[in-house]
Amino acid sequence: MSISKSPWQRVVRRLERAVAAPVTGRERPWATRLGAAASELAEALRAHLRDSEEPGGPFFEVDLTRPSFVRQVDHLRRELTDLLALASHLQEDGRSAAQAFTFSDGPGPLGAAGIPDFGRLRCQAQQLLRSIERLQEEETSLVLESVTTDIGVGD
């Protein structure tokens, strides 16, 4: 199993669409979509991390009797944990930005925080997407390397 299976494609595409949408004049809906997409991605990362520790999970075909593969799997699990933290942070930032553009009769939600930096939010989301892509490539490469090593090329 690879991280690029259809549930991943769907949540990654949703975040890509949210990031690519125009912001100006649509700050609240943009930030709301960004936060929702980041939330969905965080849940997918959480499930993938959980599955990575189960028999039959993403690293099922990796030869975990080889220390180099064990180290690579451990590295990928740490990377998944880091990406989960980034997605959760982006989710919260998106929600806060949307709240800043929600009007009410009471005191404004901005306070001393000021106007959200939508450029920074977009950059964070783009970096997260690049990191997800890199993780997908690393996972695929590890599984292929393990299977190729196990089968033996040219045997």
- The domain in which residue 63 lies consists of 6-103+115-148
Give the number of domains in the chain.
1
Q: What is the band of 147 on the pLDDT scale with cuts at 50, 70, 90?
A: confident
Asked whether residue 109 is domain-assigned, the answer is no
Distance CA(77)–CA(49), nearest Å, equals: 7
Cα distances from 116 to residues 22, 94, 102, 128, in angstroms, run 15, 9, 12, 19
CATH code at position 10 = 1.20.120
Asked whether residue 43 is domain-assigned, the answer is yes
Residue-wise pLDDT for 46-67, tens only, equals 999 998 888 888 888 888 889 9
Asked whether residue 1 is domain-assigned, the answer is no
Distance CA(88)–CA(29), nearest Å, equals: 19
